[in-house]
Chains A and B, each alone.
Chain A
Amino acid sequence: MSITPASASHHGRSHGPLEYRDPHQAVKITGFWIFLATDMLLFGCLFATYLVLRTHTDGGPTAAHLFDVPGFTAETFALLTSSFTGGLATLAMRNGNRKWVMIWMVLTMLLGLTFIGLEVQEFVADVGQGATAHRSAFLSAFYTLVGTHGTHVSIGLIWMLLTLIQIARRGLTAKTARKLFVVNLYWHFLDVVWVFIFTIVYLSGVVM
């Protein structure tokens, strides 16, 4: 039998990416894009707060004093690379290769864990120097913005683990494929947010 594109969109398809073949799954991908658009607004507000308060240091530690270049460079490299390996997991899923989906996702999660580890280390070192969230408006805004991103990454790690368990147990179906696709959309989005954090917060903080 052959399916025309028009009828295919109503009854599921036999071709095209697996995660889009069931319309019930495809609509959830659209829904997730809507979530990303709103999550972007959350970060937009936190960036606005940070930009307004970044010079309000109250005689306490400033951005130039606090930010550790090797530290945030390593964090950046870990997260950029994890976005790439997450993409390769989506690619392996589209090629129907469950083994490589698992390998790339485990690698993505390890890089994500590295990122979180480095960030926790950075925060602990900062607090050790007296740069706590209640020291100045700058530091409150800094911890809120960077901490919200870190929380997103941590949630992403748990979510990836749960998705991976489902794929291990159920294989690559239209449903698990959609879940994998969506969790990687989330991960790429967090990579973009981090790009703006290292641009607006860290690099600008070091030069200003």
Chain B
Amino acid sequence: MSGMNGTVQSRSERHSPKLYIIGYAASLVLTAISFVLALTHSMHVGPLVVLLTVLAGLQIIVQLFFFMHVTESEGPPYHVVLLTLGLIFTFAVALMSVWIMAFGTNVSY
């Protein structure tokens, strides 16, 4: 077996673009739904913004699993723990800021 030279040419298995095509189609469909929902003014603003955020959340999953190979790693998947923590902190900072500022501010400039 001569696979130790570190070049990829020694391998015969081929990867198919199927997953990437599904991912691209999914991201286009999710984006199209967001744009149509928002630009046709078909819903009340409150539920609309919640729905748009959920659709954006689904796009995170599309990129992570179809494009970024998030499940692959050498050894334990430490990066998944860190990524989850990062996502929690990110959403916590953004949502809690909105929540705190919802308690009436008189600043309007």
- Chain A interface (Cβ within 8 Å of chain B)? 1-2, 9, 12, 14-15, 17-18, 20-23, 26-27, 29-30, 33-34, 36-38, 40-41, 43-45, 47-49, 51-52, 55-56, 58, 69, 73, 76, 80-81, 83-84, 86-88, 90-91, 93-96, 136-137, 171-174, 177, 184-185, 188-189, 191-192, 195-196, 198-200, 203-204, 206-208
Contact = CB atoms under 8 A, between A and B. Distances in A.
A96 B6 CA distance: 11
A47 B45 CA distance: 19
A158 B3 CA distance: 33
Contact of B6 (A93, A173, A192): A173
B15 A94 contact: yes
Contact of B59 (A93, A195, A204): A195
A199 B52 contact: yes
A2 B28 contact: no
Contacts of A27: 74
A69 B98 CA distance: 25
B71 interface: no
Identify whether the interface residues of B are mostly helix, strand, loop, or mixed. helix
A84 B63 contact: no
Given A73-B35, A174-B6, A188-B67, A52 B79 contact: no
How many B residues touch the partner, as a band?
A: 35 or more
Contact of B89 (A41, A49, A51, A207): A41
A12 B97 CA distance: 46
Given A20-B72, A91-B17, 7 more contacts: A33-B82, A41-B89, A49-B97, A80-B28, A87-B20, A204-B49, A207-B45
